[in-house]
Structure 1
Amino acid sequence: MSRYAREERFVGLPVVELPALPNPKGTRADNAAARQAKPLPAAADAAWRLRIDSYPRTEKFAEHVARFLDTVDTAQVSALLVGMWEPGEDSKEAVRLLAGAAERLPGLRHLFFGDITSEENEISWILQCDLTPLFDAFPRLETLIVKGGQDAVLHPVRHVSLRHLEFRTGGLPGNVVRALSASTFPALETLDLWLGVEDYGGTATVRDMDGILRGTGLPALTRLGLMNSEIQDEIAAAVAAAPIVSRLSELDLSMGTLGNEGAEALLTGQPLGHLRTLDLSHHFMSEAMRKRVEAAFSGTGVTLVAYGEQEPDEDEDEDEFWRYVEVSE
């Protein structure tokens, strides 16, 4: 999946949108093209995206959702993407509309909530709300990806079907991470968290991740991503002693500000040779440390991904050397 562009495929299915409604203020040619849109595929053969344009505005988001429910055989829909809702508003109405339509979406297994491009709304400007109803309304959901973390709220949940859970943010609130730490996901295999920066609401601390790092409610987890963080060295130090790591095949600490301190913790902590993949890309290790890391995993069978920036040389002013996460605003 793209980190920035609107998805064209989702869980192996082509992404399809309802044809746009004619615009009363549009040209005759534009509206003729809208009326001649190609026929829609069978409901089961597509991942359906619900979104409205900020301009030209032809319908409200609630009207768009209603049109989708009346147009598509929603009982056959397995994958759904929720894109741009009402401009400038939080996701409360989108959550309410989606949860309220749960009975008409009995086959929904894969949900991307917040499939919004940077041209529509920067990732850290996407206003969220209490996302707990999405977990509660769809107990058979297997994939949930949430993009945007501003004002996001989550309460501890138990969800027996989820296998893949992602929060892609430029700043993930600590309350969401604490809720995930206190949640139970018996089937979850992948958990990726883009933690972001404090300036954009990324208030999670290592302490907030305690339940995740212990793996208490994550018996099936094989991939853990604690990513895109400005406290990546602290996270690496915690991961170096975390009980869950021995059960993982993939560990992703990419996209953040990992430096020599975090890398040293990984090298001197628990053995990581059982991993299939260790992703440290977008790092700030010195060249010497990067070579140490590469040497440590050479011949172990671990696929190491470690491209990135370098820390300042001895003659550089370290105070002026700015570390940054890959995705913030």
Structure 2
Amino acid sequence: MTFAEHLTTFNGLPVHTYPGLDAEELPAADSVAWRLDTFAADLVAFDKLWESFTERVPSASVRALVIGPWWGEDGYDDLLPVLEKIVAAADRFPALRALFLADATSEECEISWLQLTDVTPALEAFPLLEEFGVRGGDSSGLGEEPLSLRPVRHEALRVLRFESGGLPGQVVRAVGACELPALERLDMWLGVRQYGGDAAVADLAPILGGGRFPALRHLGLEDSEIQDEIAAAVASAPVVAQLESLSLAMGTLTDTGAEALLGGQPLGHLKRLDLHHHFLSEAMADRVRAALAAAGTEVDLSDRQVPQVWRDTEWRYVAVSE
């Protein structure tokens, strides 16, 4: 899987890329999710792009921000200076309810190359933020600090999403230690150890235990090379009872993990179970469909994968890694 296109909608709004320093006609500030992208602005430096944007768009009415590529032609830059600008201007964005960091396509930058930082200041600076998304993960192979998060209490956050080919275990543990009473949707692409995805099932315990996020209705633990272990843990996890949808998609799920799900707690209360990009046998896929069909649960078993064989060893792969 690759990111071939940028976000087209975000937080219920169409995404509009700020056209750069020479922009003439602009949409109403509160009618779109504003996307800042140095590539689309002829590689003007991000600080100049940010200055132009905040001067020409009434920031007090901006409801959603999407940060695209922020670097220039000389190479990839750390996200920290960009995040610092956004945080420093927080009082100028009282209506901001959604923020997405690093909306870059694979052609612009591979997901594992995105040089991120501690993203906690974004949550601290915007206490009314309702949706927060981050793309990228461990950039330590490039000599930079990887994505990180500190436990916080945030009263308003409803949607939290991490898209990564290798989500650091520290981030997973921090999410589990956060107090997010309004959180309804949580998605974490865990990725692979090669790209920094070193989270273990034990790191998910606070989330799976239930009670940590009382409003949670959707949980996605996806894109993992330990998807079978996660499925086994989910099969008896108290949090499942409060969910309306569950995603264990994009990873290396096999018949072993599916058997654990079928043998665990009932899943018929779910409106949707997403298992797409999986390694189930056709017979097991049929069993999963049949088990949930009577309850009316929608099951996504699309994108069935076949293990690759190398030197007599089967190799399974997640949808997003590098």
Q: TM-score, normalised by structure 2?
A: 0.91
CA drift at 1:9? 2.5
Deviation at 1:288, TM superposition (A): 1.7
1:15, distance to aligned residue in structure 2 (A): 2.0
CA offsets 1:205-250 (integer angstroms, 9 cap, x no match): 1111111111232000000000011110000001001110011010
Q: Which runs of 5+ in 2 are unaligned?
A: 139-145
Partner of 1:50: 36
* 2:98 is the counterpart of 1:113: no
The answer as to whether partners of 1:260 and 1:286 remain within 8 angstroms in 2 is: yes
Q: What secondary structure sits across from 2:299 in the alignment?
A: strand
Matched, 1:153 2:141: no
In structure 2, what is the Cα distance between the partners aligned to 1:318 and 1:261? 23
| Structure 2 equivalent of residue 297 of structure 1 | 292
State the structure with more CA Rg: 1
Is residue 19–residue 40 contact of structure 2 (8 Å, CA) maintained in 1?
A: no
Summarize the alignment of residues 1-329 of structure 1 with structure 2, pairs less than 5 Å apart: 3-21=3-21, 35=22, 37-53=23-39, 56-57=42-43, 59-86=44-71, 87-150=75-138, 151-309=146-304, 319-329=312-322
Code of the aligned partner of 1:43: A
Aligned-partner Cα distance in 2 for 1:65–1:320? 51
Aligned residue in 2 for 1:27: none
CA drift at 1:308 = 3.4
Does the 8 Å CA contact 2:3/2:105 hold for their aligned counterparts? no
Kindly provide the amino acid, as one letter, of the partner of residue 222 in structure 1. R
TM-score of the pair, normalised by structure 1: 0.90
Q: Which consecutive residues of structure 1, in runs of 5 or more, have no partner in the other structure?
A: 22-34
In structure 2, the partner of 1:31 is none
Whole-Å Cα distance in 2 between the matches of residues 303 and 46 of structure 1?
A: 32
In 2, Cα distance between equivalents of 1:278 and 1:322: 25
Q: In the alignment, is the contact (CA less than 8 A) between 1:200 and 1:328 conserved in 2?
A: yes
Amino acid at match of 1:194: W
Question: AA paired with 1:320?
Answer: T
**Identical-residue share of aligned pairs (%):** 51
Alignment partners' CA distance in 2, 1:110 and 1:239: 29
The residue matched to 1:111 in structure 2 has which SS?
A: strand
SS of the aligned residue for 2:203 comes to helix
How far apart in 1 are the matches of 2:41 and 2:97? 31
Following superposition, the deviation at residue 10 of structure 1 comes to 2.0
Q: Deviations over 1:10-44 (max 9, x none)?
A: 223222233334xxxxxxxxxxxxx5x55001111
Q: Secondary structure at the match of 1:112?
A: strand
Q: Deviations over 1:48-81 (max 9, x none)?
A: 1112129953x31122112111111000000110
Alpha-carbon shift at residue 317 of structure 1 (Å): 8.5
Distance in 2 between residues matched to 1:129 and 1:304, nearest whole Å: 36
Q: CA-atom RMSD, angstroms?
A: 2.0
Letter in 2 for 1:15: V
Amino acid at match of 1:326: A
